[in-house]
Amino acid sequence: MLLGLLTAIFLGIGWLLGGIEGMTLGLGVAILTNFIMYFWSDKIVLRMYRAKPLQDAKLNKMIEDLAKKAGVPMPKTYMIELDVPNAFATGRNPKHSAVAVTRGLTNSLTHDEIEGVLAHEISHIKHRDILISTLAATVAGALAWVSHIFWYSTDRNNRNAFTFLLLFVLVPIAATLIRLAITRAREYHADTGGAQLTDPLKLASALEKIGAVAKARPLKKGNPSTAHMFIVNPFNANMLIRLFSTHPPIEERVARLRAMAKK
């Protein structure tokens, strides 16, 4: 459905701005983008954040133990040089997966809190959330790219209020809706799965700390279209973004985890 919607948007933009020729170009771009996304979207996102192989032996051992407990292969591990604490999982399936953590995560959180975060990411891998998450990030970026290409390649006489509204208002909204395909339920499920791999209070404490930093020091580097991939949205969350957020409120996530700990 995600790839089909992407194709439909590409075709629609092409038809409106270039007729049959534009539609054909849109189809070609869609096919190429879908192929690239399926096989290389994880590498694109990791490269976007200049992720490097994780050299921390203790952290790698922690991830290996959690993966073994979850019954999934050991994912590749990466470090991102950002001072804000956060993490995400990516890849098209458990055999081709990766976990990336920021430098801020290792410097700001305790051993137990880091374990809680990593358990959450391993749960994403186990439940195969990572393919659609990575696809959504790449789709959103591709739509923005195509919008700019069509705008600047269109004759000046055809650049009117309608095409501007289409390319820079309606298309971004469509991209947001695609990212919303990564439902809040996925985060709740990953929280639950992570809590089952370790103590739910570890993840609850980590979420509170990560959320506080994200609110006080929102991430300025990076692409907001990847926000849903992180365990907590690291970008500035204004009222509109919160309304369309793919992440449930941290307070609700923490409350659920603390309730699990009491059972």
In the chain the first and final C-alpha atoms are separated, in Å, by: 38
Please state, in angstroms and rounded to a whole number, the distance separating the CA atoms of residues 92 and 97. 7
81 has catalytic annotation = no
What residues does 89 pair with on adjacent strands? 99
Both tokens of residue 153? 């390649």
Catalytic annotation, pick one of 21, 64, 115, 121: 121
Cβ–Cβ under 8 Å, residues 118 and 195: no
Distances (CA, A) of 100 to 19, 31, 79, 112, 175: 43, 28, 6, 17, 24
Instruction: Provide the annotated active-site residues.
Output: 121
